[in-house]
Amino acid sequence: MEGIKPHIYSRFDGDLGRFFQLVLDIGQLACEQVELSAVAMARCEVVPARKVQHNFRLFRELNMDTLEANVQLLAMHTPVAGDLRFMMMLSRTAYDLERINQEALRLAELTEAYYEHPGIQVDSEMFVDIERIAEKAFHMLQSALQAVSESSVKLAIGVIHQQKSMERLFQDALRYLATYMLQDPRNIQYAIDATIGLKSMERVADHSINIGKNLIYSCTGKDVRHMNIACLDIK
């Protein structure tokens, strides 16, 4: 695997490789969750919402395997230096992916609530920006996971640099929703739900940025979580 350098002890390589692959596997499932939940809420479709709920349980089981693999590595091999940073990065990535999975479930449950009350008439235009912002968050997450897979600092920095554009999209979408609330107070509850959807996708982007920053720490030893990435001299 591209992200792992070979060691003298093959058992360590095998255990680390299993942990690494589990993190990548839950990463792919998290990407699917982001796509499905955004489609579900933006289009008020219950089928993808229920798929998210089903996948949530699968994710939880895989995540337990990931935690077990992490503990086993620490207990049996006591990694140090670069190996320890790499393991910390994978552990933090698994945590961010778990949070992303929870955001997807939140949108799925909101969507199902609408489905269970078919008398509710919702203007679908109020939810249109959720899918648009989700598309950007999805690509940020994919790029962050690719950075982990390839140990690519360049890709990680590219993800972090998208933070400002995501913030602009989020603010524009909030202003759009405000017009609906001003037009008709009956839209307020739906605008609140749409805001929850937008905020969830913004959090997906934030977690993707966290993954990128932790990858940079793993590769360079520089903790960039509270630093301006533009000021860093990282090759």
| DSSP class of 143 | H
Which letter, b or e, does each residue of 185-210 get, where b requires 16 or more Cβ atoms within 10 Å of its Cβ? eebeebbebbbebbbbbbbbbbbbbb
- pLDDT number for residue 8: 45
- The mean-pLDDT minimum among 155-159, 164-168, 173-177, 200-204 falls in 173-177
* Separation of alpha carbons 13 and 20, rounded Å: 10
Predicted structure pTM score: 0.85
Instruction: Evaluate if residue 92 carries a pLDDT over 60.
Output: yes
The encoded tokens of residue 183 equal: 């037009």
Whose structure tokens read 């509710």? Answer: 120
Instruction: Evaluate if residue 195 carries a pLDDT over 80.
Output: yes
Q: What is the mean pLDDT of the chain?
A: 84
- pLDDT number for residue 120: 52
Q: If you classify domain 10-231 with CATH, what class do you get?
A: mainly alpha
- pLDDT number for residue 33: 95
CB-based contact 19:90 (threshold 8 Å): yes
CB-based contact 73:15 (threshold 8 Å): yes
Amino acid at 141: L
Instruction: Evaluate if residue 102 carries a pLDDT over 60.
Output: yes
Q: Which alpha helices (DSSP H) does 78-162 contain, by range?
A: 81-115, 128-150, 153-160
Which letter, b or e, does each residue of 10-40 get, where b requires 16 or more Cβ atoms within 10 Å of its Cβ? eebeebbebbbbbbbbbbebbbbbbbbbbbb
Mean pLDDT of 152-180: 91
- At 48-83, the pLDDT tens digits run 999 999 999 999 999 988 888 877 776 665 655 667
CB-based contact 208:159 (threshold 8 Å): yes
Higher-confidence position of 174 and 223: 174
CB-based contact 67:87 (threshold 8 Å): no
Instruction: Evaluate if residue 126 carries a pLDDT over 90.
Output: no
Whose structure tokens read 């089903």? Answer: 54
Backbone phi, psi, residue 225, to 5°: -65, -30
